[in-house]
Amino acid sequence: MIEPQVRETSAEDLLKTAARWLDEGRQVALATVIKTWGSSPRQAGSIMIIDQNMTMLGSVSGGCIEGAVIQEALEIMDHGKAGILEFGVDDEQAWDVGLACGGTIQVYVERLEAA
């Protein structure tokens, strides 16, 4: 399991870092929360950047979802085709794990290209 290190960083700073990584010759993917419903730790518009070495900054969930997003980002960096990931917990499952309600999150993952 990948243990992401989350630091609160502005979207602008994350995008500047992504541009710098591209300038350094790294492959870079951008993951963006595009839709949430119910309980969600991050709001729509939250982003995370990932490079080919699984270095990541930002956050799209603050939990185990990020490991799956990183794996998808690695694949997208290889083949270039962007994708949407959807994760969810229904209300019954949420209650079983101690949450008040369930929720769904959609994350768009794309490969970034140098300008």
Domain count, the chain: 1
- Summarised one tens digit per residue, pLDDT across range 17-40 is 999 999 999 999 999 999 988 777
Domain around 72: 11-112
Name the burial class of residue 74, with classes exposed (0-12), middle (13-18) and buried (19+) by CB atoms within 10 angstroms of its CB.
middle
**How many whole angstroms separate alpha carbon 107 and alpha carbon 69?**
8
**How many whole angstroms separate alpha carbon 14 and alpha carbon 79?**
23
| DSSP bridge pairs for 85 | 107
Q: Give domain status of residue 44, yes or no.
A: yes
| Confidence at residue 31, expressed as pLDDT on a 0 to 100 scale | 97
Q: Give domain status of residue 76, yes or no.
A: yes
Q: Give domain status of residue 22, yes or no.
A: yes
Q: Edge-to-edge, what's the strand order for the sheet holding 47-51?
A: 56-58, 47-51, 28-38, 103-112, 83-89
Q: Give domain status of residue 5, yes or no.
A: no
Q: Give domain status of residue 49, yes or no.
A: yes
Q: Give domain status of residue 77, yes or no.
A: yes
Q: Give the residue ranges of the chain where pLDDT is below 50.
A: 1, 3-4, 6, 94-100
| Confidence at residue 36, expressed as pLDDT on a 0 to 100 scale | 87
Record the pTM: 0.82
| Confidence at residue 87, expressed as pLDDT on a 0 to 100 scale | 84
Q: Give domain status of residue 2, yes or no.
A: no
Q: Give domain status of residue 3, yes or no.
A: no
